[in-house]
Amino acid sequence: MKVAVLGAGAMGSLVGAHIKKGGGEVYFVDIYEEHMKAVAANGIFMEIERSAETQTVFVDGATTNAEEVGECDAVIILVKCVNTSEAIEKNRCLFGKDTIVVTFQNGVGNAEVLAQHFDADHIGFGMLKASANLFAPGKISGQPRFPYSPKGVYFSPVNWETPYMPKFMELEKLLTDGGMGGECTQEAEVHVWDKLYTNCLYNAIGALLLLANEDSAPHEDGKKLMWEIGREACEVGRAKGFPMDENKYWEVFGGKPSRMPGGALHYTSAVSDSYYKRQTEIDFLNGAIVKEGAKLGIATPYNDAIWRLVRLMQDTYDVRFTPRQD
C-alpha cells in the first residue's frame, strides 16, 4: 500500500514511521524543508517515551514536492486544520480516483472540510491516542499510544458501505503490524471527542498565556477554568450520545499533564502558533464545542469566552504592545 503523510511534522512522522514498520510504502510531504531533507538522508529518529528505546526508520521518500511522490493508495492528512484546503489543492497529484483520504487531525469538523474536496466514499476520519514532539529536523520524541489506550489510532470511513473498505482495513493492519495499533471502528467519533476534551482543556490557555501544561494545570484558577471547560464539553458530548461523564473524564484527563522525556515541559502546538503569530486550531476545538452546543441548545459560556479570546488574539497579532526602545 502506497501511503503519503501530508503534514509530516511530529505526529505525521510518528504515524508514518509506524506504517512503514508495518510494511507500507510511505512518503512524507511537508513544507518544512530542513526536516524533509534530514529524513530523506538519515531516516526519522524516534525516542520512545516511557522507555529507553530509540529507533530510526527509513521511509521511501521525504519531500516538499508532492510531484516526486505521485498518486497514492491512501493519503493521511495531518497539516494544521486551518491549512487543510490549501494543502490539498497544492498537492493534488497525490490524489487519484481510488485514493482514500483520512484525517487524523485534532478537533471536530475535519471530515466536513475533506467533503469539500472528495466524495464520502473516499473519506475517513479518526483520532490519535498518541503524542510526539519534533525536537530537531529528522528527530522526534513521542509515545505511539497513551498508557490508558489499547490502540494508538482509532478511525472510520465516513461511509461504512464504501467500496474502498479493503483499503481502510489495510491501513488498520499496517498500523497494528507497525506497533502503533490501529482500529477501524464505528466508535471513532467517541475517540475524537475524548481527545477533543483534552485539547480544549489545555490548548487555548497555553496559547493565550504561553504556558506549558505543567504550569497552567496546578494553578488554582487554571484548574477551575479547565474544569468548567471540560464540564461543558462533556455536557455537549452526552447530548450527542457519547458516554462523557465530567467527573470520570476529569479523573482520567483533567489537570494531570505528564512531562516529556528527560523532564521537559509539554508545550502544545497552540503555544508555538501563538508565539510565532500563526492561526491556531481553536475553531476546531473550543469553537467546535460552542458550535455543537448551539445546535443542541446548550450554553457553553466558558468555551465561548476562551474561543473568542484566542480569535481576538489571532486577529490582533500585528498590533501587540512592544516596549519603546529609547
Q: Which residue ranges form the domains of the chain, and what is each CATH number? A: 2-186 (3.40.50.720), 190-319 (1.10.1040.10)
φ/ψ of 70, rounded to 5, equals: 80, -170
Distance CA 286, CA 148 (A): 24
CA distance 164 to 161: 8
What is the per-residue pLDDT across 76-115, written as a single tens digit (0 to 9) for each?
999 999 999 999 999 999 999 999 999 999 999 999 999 9
Task: Retrieve residue 313's grid coordinates.
Answer: 488574539
Q: Which residues of 170-201 are buried (b: 16+ CB within 10 A; e: fewer)?
A: bbbebbbbbebbbbbeeebbbbbbbbbbbbbb
- What single-letter amino acid sits at 34? E
Print pLDDT tens along the chain (326 aa).
Answer: 999 999 999 999 999 999 999 999 999 999 999 999 999 999 999 998 777 789 999 999 999 999 999 999 999 999 999 999 999 999 999 999 999 999 999 999 999 999 999 999 999 999 999 989 899 999 999 899 988 889 999 999 999 999 999 999 999 999 999 999 999 999 999 999 999 999 999 999 999 999 998 899 889 999 999 999 999 999 999 999 999 999 999 998 876 665 554 556 778 889 999 999 999 999 999 999 999 999 999 999 999 999 999 999 999 999 999 888 87
Reduce the DSSP state of residue 127 to 3 states and report it. strand
Question: What is the model's pTM?
Answer: 0.90
Amino acid 103: pLDDT: 98
Helix (H) / strand (E) containing 202: helix 188-209
Strands 44-48 and 139-143 come out as parallel
DSSP conformation class of 258: P
**Cβ atoms of residues 81 and 104 within 8 Å:** no
Q: Which three cell numbers stand for residue 256?
A: 494531570
Alpha helices in 142-186 (DSSP H): 165-177
| Three-class secondary structure of residue 20 per DSSP | helix
CB atoms within 10 A of CB 273: 21
**Position of cell 483520504?**
101
Output the pLDDT for position 49.
Answer: 79
Q: Which pLDDT score is estimated for 52?
A: 76
Separation between Cα atoms, residue 239 and residue 29, nearest integer Å: 38
- Considering only CA atoms, give the Rg of the chain: 19
Distance between CA atoms of residues 159 and 165, nearest Å: 9
Across 64-128, the runs of DSSP E, i.e. the strands, are 72-77, 95-103, 123-128
E strands within 41-108?
A: 44-48, 54-57, 61-63, 72-77, 95-103
Edge to edge, the sheet with strand 61-63 lists: 61-63, 25-29, 2-6, 72-77, 95-103, 123-128, 153-157, 182-184
DSSP 118: S
Q: Which three cell numbers stand for residue 66?
A: 508532492
The enclosing H or E element of 183 equals strand 182-184
Residue 142 sits at the vertex; the CA angle it makes with 170 and 218, to the nearest 5 degrees, is: 130
Number of helical (H) and strand (E) elements in the chain, helices listed first: 12, 12
pLDDT of 206: 96
